[in-house]
Structure 1
Amino acid sequence: MNDATAATKSAIGRYGVWTTLLRPDGPASAGERAEAAAELEELGFGALWLGGNSSAGHAAPLLAATGRITVGTSIQSVWEHPAPAAAADFAGLEATHPGRFLLGLGVSHGPRVAGYGRPYATMTGHLDALDREGVPAERRVLAALGPRMLELARDRATGAIPYLVTPEHTAEARGILGAGPLLAPELKAVLETDPGRARATARAALARYLELPNYTRNFLRLGFTEDDLDGGGSDRLIDAVFAWGDERAVRERVAVFHAAGADHVAVQLVEEDGAAGLPREGWRRLAAALLG
């Protein structure tokens, strides 16, 4: 492990928060987002991962509102952010908040990108361009699922940020990455002890991802069947990719990912449809469970 990757692992620690809700297009005002980011830092989380097609511009106000926590994109689409612009934005954040921004890159999904094709080659070309523009590999992480992209994360970035995966995938990813690179999977958590309600909440959140072939192919690669993908996801699939239950159950599920090889787990709190505003009480509950 090189010194830069070791420093990143130390800075972000074992636990982070993954969310789309702290973006400017989320449900809260700029002041509420800044206040929430500062509280998440105070609670002890090591990183905020901005979900969806995020950018350095989305990260900037959260970095300004905090003093220590790392902010990463999860992900910035290589299709929508040309390398020269991405490099300029990175340089701006590095100048004002040195060492606190991680450029999380991904190839997005065919149904969401016009002219989608050759994702591996596109990512490789984007990394080549970022090299030319001076964005260091140690400040990049890749949203890698399959073996080839994981190898690219090992060789051309500081590590991988897989999304919607299982502990088994984490173990496989660690085997491909080796001991040194960062491995920081996302894990969805539902703080609900009733199995029916918890799984219903999980299925509502999972539905959009079951329409995206990158994820469904990965599930099939991991041993799930087409039947597991039907009807919003089988109980087996839900229980594999969500942590649900009380705080202790969530903590124990996160620990399984760490035991499988994760350095850091980015926990995404999932609430019932219709929940309004920022889930700050839920984030506090997660902090008490994981960091208390």
Structure 2
Amino acid sequence: MTSETREAFGRVGIWSSALHGSRTDSTGRQAIAEAVAELEELKYGTLWIGGSPSVDDAAAVVAATRTVTVATGILSIWDHPADKVAARVAGIDATARGRFVLGLGVSHGPMVPQYAKPYSAMVAYLDALDAADPPLGSGRRVLAALGPKMLQLASDRTLGAHPYLVTAEHTAEARTALGPDALLAPELSVVLDTDVERARTTARNMLAMYLRLPNYTANLLRLGFTERDFDGGGSVRLLDALFALGDAGRVKDRTREYLDAGADHVALQVLTAEEGGGGLPRAEWRELAEAFADELS
């Protein structure tokens, strides 16, 4: 990966599952367009469209912006045939001018009826992208990699890895697995709330679903957590390792932990109690942009 590519991603970005234009009406799509235009003005490096988006969702964000990198975080390989994805990406390239990156993942067994041999399925999907006409090559994609085999695949066949729901310790291990040249862009969930117990409640409300998904729990067990850490929506130890809870200064400190551990870029997902973890938290995005002014300039 070149220094220009690292610069294109920036040090800090925004991850949001609310950027799905295909999941809302015209009013909602207009709100998304206005929000992403402001995020670009705030100088965030990359906008990650979370929660299994389509290429069409990304195309709408590309159309509403001018210079910011746009990425899917992540597109499920089970839901979108590789040849159609490659063709759709080629269709938006005239607008994207190289600033769209396809984030790919294997999703989770409980969510995908046809789930089987996820590593082999990902290899076959990357092969199909390479063979498409036109191809979607390694320099235009990243993998939602957690374990050693998928991290190695991300290093060998893509720009790098976009791990979700991981600790700074995982980031250090991922950097070793990827090597020095691959992109490492973990997601970090944020609760801007100085009431610690309320912030933990917001975090647990988001975490509950993920603690039912074996890919995440297996990764957390590999990192040294135990089944007891999953009880009650997550132990304090688990919450403190996975989330940035507190004011914007605390979020910046936690982000620095990931960057110091080897991340090139950190994608911040803002959770709010009012929105149940979703929505377009534009006030919080502005607050974080002010705190991260030195990283975003």
Pick closer, same or farther for the CA change 1:257–1:66 going to 2, 3 Å: same
Match of 2:290 in 1: 288
Unaligned stretches of 5+ in structure 1?
none
Match of 2:263 in 1: 262
Tell me the alpha carbon deviations over residues 228-275 of structure 1, each in whole angstroms, 9 at most, x when there is no partner: 011100000001000010110010000000000000000000111546
1:94-173 matches, cutoff 5 A: 94-133=93-132, 134-173=135-174
- Structure 1 stretches of 4+ with a deviation exceeding 2 A read 273-277
1:151-230 matches, cutoff 5 A: 151-230=152-231
Cα distance in structure 1, aligned partners of 2:106 and 2:38: 31
Unaligned stretches of 5+ in structure 2?
none
Pick closer, same or farther for the CA change 1:167–1:45 going to 2, 3 Å: same
Cα distance in structure 2, aligned partners of 1:254 and 1:26: 31
Match of 1:21 in 2: 18
Is 1:86 the equivalent of 2:85? Answer: yes
Match of 1:7 in 2: 4
Cα distance in structure 2, aligned partners of 1:7 and 1:203: 38
Cα distance in structure 2, aligned partners of 1:53 and 1:145: 17
Do the aligned residues in 2 keep the contact of 1:188 with 1:267 (CA within 8 Å)?
A: yes
Cα distance in structure 1, aligned partners of 2:226 and 2:79: 33
Is the partner of 2:56 in helix, strand or coil? Answer: helix
Match of 2:69 in 1: 70
Cα distance in structure 1, aligned partners of 2:265 and 2:259: 7
Count of equivalent residues: 289
Q: Percent same amino acid at aligned positions?
A: 56
TM-score of the superposition, structure 2-length normalised?
A: 0.95
Is the partner of 1:79 in helix, strand or coil? Answer: coil
Cα distance in structure 1, aligned partners of 2:167 and 2:279: 29
1:44-59 matches, cutoff 5 A: 44-59=43-58
Do the aligned residues in 2 keep the contact of 1:56 with 1:93 (CA within 8 Å)?
A: no
The alpha carbon displacement at 1:172 in A equals: 0.2
The alpha carbon displacement at 1:90 in A equals: 1.1
Q: CA RMSD in A?
A: 1.3
Cα distance in structure 1, aligned partners of 2:291 and 2:245: 13
Pick closer, same or farther for the CA change 1:67–1:274 going to 2, 3 Å: closer
Is the partner of 1:198 in helix, strand or coil? Answer: helix
Is the partner of 2:18 in helix, strand or coil? Answer: coil
Do the aligned residues in 1 keep the contact of 2:14 with 2:268 (CA within 8 Å)?
A: yes
The alpha carbon displacement at 1:26 in A equals: 5.3
Cα distance in structure 1, aligned partners of 2:217 and 2:225: 9
Do the aligned residues in 2 keep the contact of 1:204 with 1:273 (CA within 8 Å)?
A: no
Tell me the alpha carbon deviations over residues 157-190 of structure 1, each in whole angstroms, 9 at most, x when there is no partner: 0000000000000000000111111000000000
The alpha carbon displacement at 1:7 in A equals: 2.3
